[in-house]
Amino acid sequence: MAEAKPEFELPDEITYELPDDVHVLVGTPNYTNLFSSEAHSNHIECVSAWDKWGLKYNWMIIGRTFVQFARSQTCQAALDGKFSHIFWVDDDAMIDPHVLPKLLQYDKDVVIVPYPMRRSPFEVGILSATQFICRPCNNHRFTCDSDITPPVSLPCPKCGKDAPRNFHEHASYRNLTTKDLDQGLIDVDGGGTHVMLMKTDILRSARGFKQPQPGEPFDPNNDSYAPEAMEVYLRMQGQFDTPSEKHLIDHYIGEIPNQNMTFEEEADTGAKPFFIMPKVGTEDMLYCFRAKCKGVKIYAATDLWANHIGFPPVITRGFTEQAEKLNTANMKTGDVVLSRPGVGRDHTSIKRNAASSLT
């Protein structure tokens, strides 16, 4: 009788090269201080493979604290411990062990693995803006075809010059769908930290443009500030000159963002922690937006996939594909169903009948 083969076999080595001096801090917020059996067995599978392949890593699990605090603590630990990367793996994520070395091989600042959200309509937790902005044409805005994956830029219909995606226009964001997958590495505007690899160095080095000052011309390459907010920032700065006045404005009305500071500088000065929970939305999408304002490029590894432990036991890619087909076939105006690609949603307010859109 033939001996039964194990269900999962690990190769003795990985067949692709990795950057030198890699030491990864795996970060897992775990508010409940509990793990499902599916997640626990997947973690064992991963560490068994990573040890076998000689990857250098430590796994940091932070329980009994809110997720934004846990992520900020992980960032500080990564800086203090001189880790090269932070590999975010949520406590309800399930991955193939090969995901980590493959992400390392890309050698990018931030790479997100597509995954389904755990609630209906199970959308993919990666987003990009569908609006583009042409600064030479006085900030002319236009949208891309809903059938294409939003590219990095498109020719402006007025002048023909390349116009970048306007990641400041959150209402134009749309979730990727399974039709956007299998394209390799693509440029995106944000996503969940469900499974995300980021270089620790961006916390210390990434900085955007300086705060706009009254009387200074606006640099057309300045992507750190929303164009429509520039006039407001300049008026506020011109009216309140003393440090005490500016402090009162920041505290009671809202701060004038300074994207020229790094994440570490913001944390060290007490301006902002590494991760912040916004009034509406999620801490990971806000982190991605702040990173984009500091010039960080964010990518999605569309050839990979991470399952999500959810209300169905485990949400897989096949489950997500079927949910898309079902919701598209039964779509009616106003129904809480999967939104059509390219249809913008208001991410700045809460509506009872709105489709979920973030993580």
Distance (Å, whole) CA 237 – CA 245:
10
The pLDDT assigned to 4 comes to: 43
Cα 232 → chain centroid = 28
pLDDT value at 109 more than 70: yes
Task: Provide the residue ranges of all domains of the chain, joining segments of one domain with +.
Answer: 24-130+165-206+274-329, 210-258
| 286-331 per-position pLDDT tens digit | 999 999 999 999 999 999 999 999 877 888 898 888 888 877 665 5
Sorted by sequence, the CB contacts under 8 Å of residue 10 that are 6+ apart come out as 48, 49, 52, 97
Of residues 121 and 151, the one with the higher pLDDT is 151
| 82-91 per-position pLDDT tens digit | 999 999 999 9
- Report the SS3 class of residue 62: strand
- H/E element holding 242? none
The pTM for the full model equals: 0.84
Tell me which fold the domain 24-130+165-206+274-329 belongs to: Spore Coat Polysaccharide Biosynthesis Protein SpsA; Chain A (3.90.550)
Distance (Å, whole) CA 252 – CA 351:
26
Peptide bond into 121 cis (omega under 30): yes
The pLDDT assigned to 238 comes to: 67
358: pLDDT confidence band, cut at 50, 70 and 90? very low
